[in-house]
Amino acid sequence: MTIKAVPLATWPTPLEPAMRLAGAIGLEELWVKRDDLTGLGGGGNKVRKLQYTCAQAVEAGATGVVTTGAPQSNHARLTAAAAARLGLSCTLVLAGTAPEAMRGNLLLDELAGARIVWAGTDPLAEVAAAQDGYVIPFGGTNAVSAQGYVDCAKELLTQLPDLDTVVVALGSGGTMAGLVAQLGPERVLGVDVGALPDPRATVAGLLDEMLAPAESGMWAAGGTETGAVSESLRIDSGQVGAGYATVTEPVRAAMRLAARTEGIFLDPTYTGRAMAGLCAAKPRGKVVFLHTGGLPGLLA
């Protein structure tokens, strides 16, 4: 299978030292991979995935795209921005009902020209299937789009060849899967945000698709058999709290710490949880925190 991408940003994103934050947490060395600075539509990790899913849509001859998410979905915002860049129409199928005021990501969705369909309590996938356009999956994640984080891992190995651990939020699974495919499971710590009922199985399933015999060259660093992937994945499930839509005190503390030591703003759903997981794990050696964006959601 040939995987291609449409250009939506300028790479590589910066890798910045975070010495004050490292000292506050008790780490030997900490770097921040600034995928919040991907440029398009307010930035964030979904841009890397959309370069592949939008390429599939264009190749299929689509004139519009459809995707799903929560009301403050970062993926939905960036899908709207990517569609605008590529001259495609965009329909966003969002859970629940319209709020009284359009804030945060919702405001940006409308600004980019997206049509918003509120699904109420109906299954998002069913409502999306009834719309007109090429359907991009939840979170923009499939085995093809996860290649975007194989690309990111290659950037990291150029920027910091002897890195020991990358810490990343684990939402729909594609970001972690792409990193693991290139770096191996021992060098990636995913912090579950509560978006999936079984994140371990989801990431393992994506890797099984990515690392099928025809694509086995992606498994460059780890040397792990795909059948053992699920057991070898490093996942912190201790930051979910009462659920995806809630905020815990450790997450609030992590957000304050990052802002007050490095001037880096995190969101409460993804990067805040990832930073709380980093603070709890305190990995040794050269640690990279992958900042996946999400600031507009905080402003909601």
User: Is the model's pLDDT at 86 over the cut of 80?
Assistant: yes
pLDDT of residue 221: 41
Task: Indicate which residue of 73, 89, 230, 237 is catalytic.
Answer: 73
Q: What angle do CA 274, 45, 83 make, to 5 degrees?
A: 145
The residue ranges of every structural domain in the chain are 15-44+142-298, 46-140
User: Is the model's pLDDT at 216 over the cut of 50?
Assistant: no
Whether domain 15-44+142-298 has CATH 3.30.565.10: the reply is no
Q: Which of 172-176, 203-207, 217-221 bottoms out in mean pLDDT, i.e. has the lowest?
A: 217-221
Residue pair 201/192 in contact by the 8 Å Cβ criterion: no
Fold equal for 15-44+142-298 and 46-140: yes
In this prediction the pTM is 0.93
Q: Are strands 286-291 and 29-34 parallel, antiparallel or unpaired?
A: parallel
Q: Is 230 a catalytic residue?
A: no
Mind listing the pLDDT tens digit for each residue in 60-77?
999 999 999 999 999 999
Averaged pLDDT for residues 248-270:
97
Q: What is the CATH number of domain 46-140?
A: 3.40.50.1100
User: Is the model's pLDDT at 17 over the cut of 90?
Assistant: yes
